[in-house]
Amino acid sequence: MASNTMLTLLFLAAVLGVYYLAPRRARWGILLAASMIFYMSATPWMLFLVGASSCWSWYAGKKIEEAQTLQKKRGWLRGSILPLLGVLFLFKYFNFFAGGIASLLALAGFETDPLVLRLMLPMGLSYYTFKLISYAADIYQGKLKAETHLGYYLTYTLFFPQIMSGPIERPGSFLSQLRGGPGFDSDLGAEGIQRILLGLFKKMVIANRLSGYVDTVFADPGNYPGLAAALAAFLYSCQLYCDFSGYSDIAIGMGNLLGIRSRKNFDCPYFARNIHEFWGRWHISLSSWLKDYVYIPLGGSRVSPLRRNLNLLATFLASGLWHGDNWTFLAWGGIHGIWNMCSRREEREPGVLRKTWQTFLTFLGVTAAWIFFRAESLGAAVSFIRHAVLDFSLSYGDIQNSILPFTGDNTCAAYFLTACLFLLLLFLYEWGQTYGKGVLRRGEGPYGKGFSLSALWLALMAGSVLLFGVFGVSGFLYAQF
């Protein structure tokens, strides 16, 4: 169920039927039970792991608050965080580091087989670990009071719309809404339905439609023209964005229907004019988490320019490592870290032509970096880029052979044109959201109050999902991270 979008929405409908029949003060219990069932549908025994981690984090949070000295507070903070990081390391990074150590030993002349643990990665491990860490850190910094109700805290950790791929919700906002007893809000519910529809359009109509082409070309780029490799890189940028932002829209919309308001996770990132702005718009919950709990504790920008740059690089390397146990993710994080170090913010608003050129170059750079994110190895990424650049051609034969991977037969041209049409629709929608008026009533505040699609966009997106949605592709790309 956790890997199937439509089953998840049916599950939500069943939960809503019970949820609003219960008294407001008891609704947290319905949410907790539903979240436990949802989690067990994917990895049943892992519920004990997330439950144990949450209980320990909850207990340690109380001890941090009760501690009378700074030394004791720090001790309990370490005691809260280190076991969580240990579990994350064991399940996600042990094999990566064991392989690296074996490679270093081999260079020194000691041949040995690396120790490999065959452990199934628990669903949402990276996401709920960061939630638990932020809870302890906020109590330590005095930003948050320790939660006295274990049930509320478990509901925060396991909240089923967000457990699989975020957003990484901060504890203060979520727990305060839960304590008050979430009630039905017609405006919030309407926002939720519209967000879910927007997410389904991105995921089912665009991301799923592009996945076959991207997988085919990335699996064997040398078998296709350089133009196909360049097109696959562009389409992967679109696929990844639509897949992940689509999930975020659906998750936030599901929460809205349950009376829970969440911060937005994406804000038209491909319209960013520079890399700083891009990271203020992409995966906002993760980038803000890394800023608050990695970059600032390292010293942030309150240090020398050299130290600031090292802090930036360390933060982006941590972001790369968070995404996966492969050198390609570290390379991707390093590219963004160095880019942020070298890039300067513009204080003046540029003209239209300069703004367009800056946006194009930023998108081009981000797309090139995504190749490392998608490739199986560093060598494969470099080879892919070399092929896309050196073998690029716009000859008729190369154009024809670059469109063929969409379907592998004579329907490829129609499939290609259909994909282009939906990408154009998304571009116009997000252009209107960024620069236009009337397409979207932009909300005020971090929680996007007043989110509303026009009737035209509602009809276009609903019709596209029903008529052109690709429902055979299940799961979300970011669930694996």
Tell me if residue 323 is catalytic.
yes
Residues contacting 460, CB < 8 A, separation 6+: 425
Smallest CA-to-CA distance from 281 within 268, 264, 295, 297 is with 268
C-alpha dist (Å) from residue 104 to 107, 130, 216, 300: 5, 31, 34, 33
Q: Which of 283, 323, 336, 387 is catalytic?
A: 323
Cα separation, 157 vs 154, in Å, equals 5
What count of Cα atoms within 13 Å lies in the side-chain half-sphere of residue 383?
13
In three-state form (DSSP H/G/I as H, E/B as E, the rest C), the secondary structure along 451-475 is CCECHHHHHHHHHHHHHHCCCCCCC
Cβ-Cβ contacts under 8 Å for 394 (sequence gap 6 or more): 227
Residue at token pair 């892919």? 384
> Which of 434, 439, 437, 433 shows the shortest CA–CA distance to 454?
439
Taking each continuous run of H as one helix and of E as one strand, the counts in the chain are 20, 0
DSSP structural state of residue 346: -
Q: Exposed e or buried b for every residue in 118-144, given b needs 16+ CB within 10 A?
A: eeeebbbbbbbbbbbbbbbbbbbeeeb
Q: Which residues are catalytic?
A: 323
